[in-house]
Amino acid sequence: MSPRWRRLLFLSAHSQSIDALVDEGITLDDGSTAFCWETPRPSTMLQLGAQEIVDLALLQRSTAESLIDLVGLSAANRALSQSSPGRLAASFGPAHRSRRFHARLVRSPRWQPRARDLIVALDLDATRAAWFESRRVDGVEAVLGLQAALERTS
């Protein structure tokens, strides 16, 4: 990897995105870490190194997330709008999944981006987190897609 980068931080909201790392022969043995929303397949965990994969699905859920899972998305939306009339239904609209991913990510104790880290969003649902985090932390950049990461780090 180019010395410009200290390590890669892969963000994956879908398990098949993390599988792409295995398909490309990527390893996480240089300090890189993958943060996944959906639990990766056991074979993926094995090939990439389970300890380098942070399974965000295992993090304690927030109250809102628990509510959604319990009663379903639209019901939760109705409940929220009744309890907080000013709250927009769009809070649980198309961008919801990506917001949940971001919220989970920043609650992970292993999420500690530093200068010269390259955040790689492996799918669209992970881009929001990558975008915001690259602006929050100095010296961090973010790209979408494994191909872009390979080009940036070669």
CB of 11 to other proteins, least distance (A): 11
18 binds other proteins (CB under 8 A): no
Residue number, 111 or 131, with CB nearest to other proteins: 131
Minimum CB distance to other proteins, residue 92 (Å): 13
Residue 51: name the closest of 114, 110, 91, 97 by CA. 110
Q: For the chain, state the CA radius of gyration.
A: 17
144 makes contact with other proteins (CB under 8 A): yes
Q: Alpha-carbon distance 91 to 127, whole Å? A: 17
- Applying CB under 8 A, does 145 fall inside the site for other proteins? yes
Rounded CA separation 19/7 (Å): 19
Tokens for 131?
Answer: 């975008």
Q: Which stretch binds other proteins (CB under 8 A): 31-39, 56-64, 87-95, 109-117?
A: 87-95
Query: Which SS3 state, helix, strand or coil, does residue 85 take?
Result: coil
Among 5, 61, 131, 153, binds other proteins (CB under 8 A): 131
Give the C-alpha separation, 111 to 118, whole Å.
Answer: 13
Residue numbers of the site for other proteins (CB under 8 A)? 20, 23, 93-95, 98, 119, 121, 124, 127-128, 130-132, 134, 141-145, 147-148
